[in-house]
Chains A and B, each alone.
Chain A
Amino acid sequence: MSSSSSLTRALGISALAAVAVNAWWGLSLSPPDKVQGQLVRILYVHPAVATMCYAGFGLCALGSICWLWPRTRSPRWDRLAVAGAEVGAVFCAATLITGSIWGKAAWGVWWTWDARLTLTAILFALSLGYLALRRAVDNPHSRALMSSAVALLMALTVVLDHYATAWFATLHQHTTLFKPSPSIHGWQLVTMCWSFVALGLVFAWMVVHRYRLEALEERYESEGYLVAIEARRAEGQPVSAAARPETGRVLVGSAASAERAEALVEDK
Chain B
Amino acid sequence: MNYVWAAWLSCGVLLCVYSFRTLWRERTLRRLLGKKGPQWP
Contacts and interface: CB of A to CB of B under 8 A. Distances in A.
A–B contact at 8 Å CB threshold (below) = yes
Contacts, number: 83
Given A101-B3, A220-B33, 17 more contacts: A23-B8, A38-B4, A41-B4, A87-B18, A94-B10, A97-B10, A98-B11, A205-B19, A209-B23, A216-B29, A217-B29, A221-B40, A224-B38, A224-B39, A227-B37, A227-B40, A228-B40
A97 B14 contact: yes
Contacts of B40: 221, 224, 227-228
Contacts of A105: 3-4
A31 to B, nearest CB: 14
Interface residues of B, number: 24
Contacts of B39: 224, 227
Contacts of B26: 209, 212-213, 216
B13 to A, nearest CB: 9
Given A213-B22, A224-B39, A224-B40, A101 B10 contact: yes
Interface of A: 23, 26-27, 38-39, 41-42, 45-46, 49, 87, 90-91, 93-94, 97-98, 101-102, 104-105, 202, 205-206, 209-210, 212-213, 216-217, 219-221, 223-224, 227-228
